Chains A and B, each alone.
Chain A
Amino acid sequence: GENVEQHPSTLSVQEGDSAVIKCTYSDSASNYFPWYKQELGKGPQLIIDIRSNVGEKKDQRIAVTLNKTAKHFSLHITETQPEDSAVYLCAASKTGGGNKLTFGTGTQLKVEL
């Protein structure tokens, strides 16, 4: 089955800096890659997603890039703010697999003042 690896497990940046989180997947048939932000005591919240027919997608300070050949995708957060501090989860899924998501292990992002 699909396996998703996520790095780093923890990331500490200064406010205003950029943060990059990387995920690799094993199933070349995967074609949908969402990113979720999970704050303490809450459920994951979708922040951005990308499908395999595009290489990059951007939404204000957040961007996701996808490299299908290398089977990896990354989350980029620019101009980080303290409220960006949370656990970020990447996931992968494929058409025909219903709505099953395989998640990475998460990255604890801390934005320091």
Chain B
Amino acid sequence: KAGVTQTPRYLIKTRGQQVTLSCSPISGHRSVSWYQQTPGQGLQFLFEYFSETQRNKGNFPGRFSGRQFSNSRSEMNVSTLELGDSALYLCASSLEGLAGVDTQYFGPGTRLTVL
């Protein structure tokens, strides 16, 4: 099976712009989670989508949003970019997480640089 894919791999934006990142989960996986990784804060949970609905949300401002499509592919959007949004954005997919916690498989990430 193909792994989790994320596009684009690298992105450079300027403050105030907005950005959309894409994630395609492993075939058959219905849950997609997004994480932000920075040297200072480490890996932090942004949100999780399952069956096109946001099931979990971390402690990030409303500028961070996401959605999931019927084929389980997901996008996340960051509006009004700030310098502090520079980070590696990671997507992880898992089966369902209904009966318990399912193993999460990560993609390679999108490196976002905000100038």
* B42 and A106 contact, CB distance less than 8 A: yes
Size of interface on A: residues with Cβ below 8 Å to B: 27
Interface pair A95/B101, CB less than 8 Å apart: yes
6 tightest CB-CB pairs across the interface, nearest first?
Answer: A43-B106, A32-B101, A103-B43, A99-B97, A98-B56, A93-B101
Determine if B45 is an interface residue (Cβ-Cβ < 8 Å). Answer: yes
For B, the interface residue count at a CB cutoff of 8 angstroms equals 28
Instruction: State the main secondary structure of chain B at its contact with A.
Output: strand
Is residue B66 within 8 Å, beta carbon to beta carbon, of the partner chain?
no
A44 an interface residue at 8 Å Cβ cutoff?
yes
Rounded to whole Å, the gap between the CB of B84 and the closest CB of chain A is 18
Q: Which residue of B lies closest to A89 (CB)?
A: B43
> Contacts A99-B33, A105-B42 hold; do A31 and B101 have CB atoms under 8 A apart?
yes
Contact of A36 among B33, B97, B106 (CB under 8 A): B106
Whether A46 and B104, one on each chain, are in contact in the complex, defined by CB atoms closer than 8 angstroms, is yes
Residue in B33, B42, B100 whose beta carbon sits within 8 Å of that of A32 in the complex: B100
Kindly list chain B residues whose C-beta atoms are within 8 Å of the C-beta of A45: 106
